[in-house]
A = this chain, B = another copy of it.
Amino acid sequence: MHQRLGRASVRLEEGVYIRESASVVGTKEGQGPLGSFFDMVGSDDMFGCGTWEEAESSLQKDAVYLALGKAGLKPEDMNYIFAGDLLGQSIATSFGLAQYGIPLFGVYGACSTCGESLLLGTMALAGGFGEYAVCVTSSHFASAEKEFRFPLEYGNQRPLSASWTVTGSGAFVLGREPGEHARARITGMTVGKIVDYGLKDSMNMGACMAPAAASTIERHFRDFESGPQDYDRIITGDLGSVGQTVLIDLLREKGYDISQVHTDCGMEIYDAETQDTHAGGSGCGCSAVTLSAYILRQLEEKSWKKVLFAPTGALLSKTSFNEGKSVPGIAHALVIESTADPRPA
């Protein structure tokens, strides 16, 4: 059913199916280039809640609700939920998902969490531990700024290398079987390791994460005996424009030219020129909502047949930053393919 290709790379012959998914975003994301693709756009970024953290919890709750509804499944059908976010002690997850009563695996991979949760969900189902799992993650611009940087009221200047945390949540219902119309299937995986080049600039996370993305993608190519030519797109999570340059350069040194097929969710979600987002979008929600709203759509429409999806995470906290530590990175990669038959209209 699956074949180990290397230390942490596995090919899934049958695959695990992304039965359905949903994306919920804030106003800025709704105004961006992908705006019309999202399932739900909030009319303001409080989403009817009293705090930023509660608003982020409501994003996860709504994304799971929509994804289950589209899949025609109930919370009770889910064997497990794999979920996490950027806030200390993952409180967006804890308070957003309690009411569903689904057995929970809390995960933390910074902005790579969408990839990590999909990997674990895939392993659980392909390994015979369940029929269905839901994977969800979120970020919120205001709760993240409060958690990692400055109070919004302080109005700090942001350098051009900084990214803008996406307000959004993406949820994915995985199934062992395709059902009537799965959106796509996961057919391969390479698990990432921590890579630390010693960079300390939390306002340039793209450069901090690019070495981790390069490490995972290179290992993936080697383990799968594949290369850039084998994928319609190689899609990182939130490297942004600065990190993209670093990634392409690092992989070129290793003999791989991904420049023609590389896309970054952080560069797709905003129009940097008109939306003042500088290097691009970031946050757990960035790759999650872009996967749900845009990448899976391309795979359904067969514009793309096979992509390598590699969310990237910057492993820092305000404490580690204030203690002068570096910002290590991590990236996890999944091969996601079109289902064999076109999805019925």
Chain A positions within 8 Å of B, measured between CB atoms, are 1-2, 4, 7-8, 10, 51, 53-54, 76, 79-80, 84, 86-91, 94-95, 97-98, 101-110, 116, 119-120, 123-124, 126-130, 147, 191-196, 315-320, 323, 325, 328, 330
Find out whether the CB atom of A102 lies under 8 angstroms from the CB atom of B193.
yes
Integer count of this chain's copies in the complex: 2
Residue among A51, A97, A104, A196 having the largest count of chain B Cβ atoms under 10 Å: A104
Residue of B nearest to A3 (CB): B128
What CA separation (Å) do A88 and B110 show in the bound complex?
11
What CA separation (Å) do A116 and B87 show in the bound complex?
19
Q: A89: which B residues are within 8 A, CB to CB?
A: 86, 88, 108, 110, 315-317, 320
CB distance from A301 to the nearest CB of B (A): 31
Cβ contacts A to B, 30 pairs, < 8 Å: A2-B128, A4-B129, A7-B103, A8-B103, A51-B323, A54-B323, A87-B88, A87-B319, A88-B88, A89-B315, A89-B317, A90-B108, A91-B316, A91-B325, A95-B328, A97-B194, A98-B196, A101-B193, A102-B193, A103-B192, A103-B193, A104-B193, A104-B194, A105-B109, A105-B119, A106-B107, A106-B330, A108-B108, A120-B120, A124-B127
